[in-house]
Amino acid sequence: MDILVVVAHPDDADVFCGGTIAKHAERGDEVSIVHMTRGEYGGLRTDSQEAVGRVREQEARDSGAVLGASEVAFLEFKDGRITYSLENRVEMVDVIREYDPDIILTHYKDDLHPDHRATSRLVTDAYYMASLPLVETDFEPCDPDNIYYFGKPTSEFTPSMFIDIDGYLEQKVTAIKKHESQVEFLVEHGGIDAEFDNLIDGLRAENLVFGKQAGARSAEGFVPLHESAQEFLG
Query: Could you give the percent of the chain with pLDDT greater than 70?
Result: 88
Contacts of 6 (CB under 8 A, 6+ apart): 34, 36, 92, 95, 104, 105, 106, 119, 123
Rounded average pLDDT over 217-234: 77
| pLDDT tens-place string over residues 61-81 | 999 999 999 999 999 999 999
pLDDT value of position 192: 45
Taking a C-beta distance cutoff of 8 angstroms, is the pair 222, 161 a contact? yes
Q: How high is the pLDDT of residue 194?
A: 46
| CATH fold group of domain 2-224 | Rossmann fold (3.40.50)
| Per-domain boundaries in the chain | 2-224
pLDDT digits (tens, 9 = 90+) for 155-188: 688 999 999 999 999 999 999 999 988 766 666 6
Nearest to 79 by CA among 52, 100, 106: 52
pLDDT tens digit sequence for 7-51: 999 999 999 999 999 999 999 999 999 999 998 887 766 679 898
Whole-angstrom Cα distance, residue 169 to residue 153?
19
